[in-house]
Structure 1
């Protein structure tokens, strides 16, 4: 068994696609129309056959209150590994990304938390 895909719940798939590709640097893997929404996945350019991130519509009535509660408490929805959190933080701040937590080193791990513009906080982490 292996992890093939995971989801991030987004309020607007097109806006999410632009943020996750143009800003974060992921690449589109699948973009299939499915009625009102799309089967929309992105992958790391470093692992095009790796784990896919599904940009999942947050249309279910339970999702938006859940996301709002996480954001209100400062809790990231998911985390992405990066080589150097400080360098990635600087690159993304220069691109206009809002961070709710600047790089913070805690023992062997450094983290930072960004707002994905789609209703989620995302943690960046490096070991």
Structure 2
């Protein structure tokens, strides 16, 4: 059986990303190892510390930044995270200074919101009803 172990988000600055993803979003650092000029830097949800790791991967590949810029220009989130209550999470994150491009929006079976991760990505949070 295939499992998801690590997934990535492309970031323009690993230190800035680590601060945002831990201090604002509440993830915890799992792995921080040298990897050439960068780091193998992962975070996990405190609700699942042995679960899927999110790699804060440098966006140094020539295709990465134009790809990210095109997604942002079109308002498309790079990835999605689950939350229990989108409305409460939006208020919590706004209180921490996180900027949203889409406030909590009810789409019937799901509520979503989209924020800027300060590292070149739009990120969606969602909760199924």
Could you state the TM-score of these two structures normalised by the residue count of structure 2? 0.97
Q: Give the equivalent residue in structure 1 for 2:38.
A: 37
How many residue pairs end up in the alignment? 127
Q: Partners in 2 of 1:93 and 1:108 — Cα distance?
A: 24
| Alpha-carbon separation, structure 1, partners of 2:75 and 2:120 | 12
Q: Which whole-Å CA distance do the structure 2 matches of 1:41 and 1:96 have between them?
A: 23
Offset at residue 34 of structure 1 (A): 1.7
Structure 1 unaligned blocks of 5 or more: none
Secondary structure of the residue aligned to 2:126 is: strand
Deviations 1:77-116 (A, max 9, x none): 0000000000000000010000000000001100000000
Q: Aligned partners of 1:56 and 1:78: how far apart in 2?
A: 14
In structure 2, what is the Cα distance between the partners aligned to 1:34 and 1:74?
32
| Structure 2 residue matching 1:19: 3-state secondary structure | helix
Shift, 1:35, TM fit: 2.6
- Counterpart-to-counterpart distance in 1, 2:96 and 2:4: 31
CA RMSD of superposed structures (Å): 0.4
Whole-Å separation in 1 of the counterparts to 2:15 and 2:120: 14
Q: Does 1:7 align with 2:8?
A: yes
Superposed displacement of residue 36, structure 1: 1.3
* Distance (whole Å) between structure 1 residues aligned to residue 24 and residue 96 of structure 2: 7
Report the 3-state secondary structure (helix = DSSP H, G, I; strand = E; otherwise coil) of the residue aligned with 2:112: strand
Q: Which residue of 1 aligns with 2:114?
A: 113
What is the distance in 1 between the residues matched to 2:35 and 2:114? 32
In structure 2, the residue corresponding to 1:47 is in which secondary structure? coil
1:66-105 to 2 correspondences below 5 Å: 66-105=67-106
Q: TM-score, normalised by structure 1?
A: 0.99
Whole-angstrom CA distance in 1 between matches of 2:10 and 2:51: 20
